[in-house]
Amino acid sequence: MVFSNSAELSPLLSVITVVYNNVKDLERTIQSVLKQDYTNIEYIVIDGGSTDGTLAVIEKYRSLISIIVSEPDEGIYDAMNKGIRLATGDYLLFMNSGDEIYASNTVSNIFSSQAFADIYYGETEMIDTTGKSLGRRRHRVPERFTWKSFKYGMSISHQAIYIKKSLVEPYNRHYHLSADIDWILTAAKKARTIVNTHQYVAKYLVGGLSKKRHRQSLKERFHIFTKHYGLIPNLLHHSVIAFNLLWYYLWHGRTND
C-alpha cells in the first residue's frame, strides 16, 4: 500500500504492525490502517512465525500490505527493529496487533495540523477485547511535550506518536517490556518541533504483555527514567506518581494506563 505523492504535501508514513499468534485481534488493526483516507502510507507487517491462523488473516490483505515478514524472532523489540530497518517512510508509526488508528481521517488530520514537524502526538482511547471503549488513558497527554514530560509517567502512548524516521534509533533490546519509553525519549531529545494534534489518534487494547508482567515492566521503567532524568529526581518523581496513582484508584477504581 504505497502511493506516490509529493513528500512536501504528504510525507510517506511507514505504519508497522508487529504480531505473534493474535488471530482474534489482528484484523481490526489491519483494517484501521487500510481504511485511512491518507494515501501515502507504507504498511509493514512483521509476524513472529504465528501458528494460530494469524498468517491467514495477513494473507487475506497481502495485495494491500507493502511488506510482509513472517519468521521467528527474539522478542517484540527484535521484531520492531526489523520494521524500522525495512521502513522507507519519512515518519514511523507502530500500530501493533489489537490496537487501532482512531478514525479513517486520523492520519490526514495529523499531517495537516502542521507541516514538517519532527514529532506529532495525540490522545489515546482505551478499548477492551470486544472493542468497547474504556475511556481516555489515565495519563492525559501534555499540552506541550518534551523529553522531560515522561518524568511522572508515560503520558503519551506508543500508538499515539508519529516520529520522523531520521530521529529514531533501534529499540534497546536490553529492555524486554518498556523499550518503547526509552525509544520515544531518545528521539524526543533530538526533536525541535513537536506538535500536539489535539485529537484522539489511537485506540489501545488493554491487557498487553507489560500488563501481564507488570512488576518487570515497572522495574524497567524505573531504570529508563533514572537513565534519562537521574536517580534522585526519579525517586522524587516516583513519590508523586505513587500519590497520583492512589488518588486515581480511589476515585475511579481502575489503573489502566
pLDDT of residue 236: 76
Residue 8 lies in a domain: no
Other C-beta atoms within 10 Å of 69: how many? Answer: 16
Domain span including residue 212: 13-252
Distance CA 57, CA 241 (A): 40
Residue 108 lies in a domain: yes
Residue 3 lies in a domain: no
Residue 39 lies in a domain: yes
pLDDT of residue 35: 98
- Residue 139 buriedness (CB in 10 A; 0-12 / 13-18 / 19+): buried
Residue 257 lies in a domain: no
Number of independent structural domains in the chain: 1
Residue 132 lies in a domain: yes
Nearest to 70 by CA among 59, 257, 109: 59
User: What's the chain's average pLDDT?
Assistant: 88
Other C-beta atoms within 10 Å of 103: how many? Answer: 17
pTM, to two decimals: 0.86
Domain at 170, CATH number: 3.90.550.10
Residue 194 lies in a domain: yes
Buried b (16+ CB within 10 A) or exposed e, 28-50: bbbebbbebebebbbbbbbbbeb
pLDDT of residue 248: 58
Residue 192 lies in a domain: yes
- Which residue positions in the chain have pLDDT lower than 50? 2-6, 210, 255
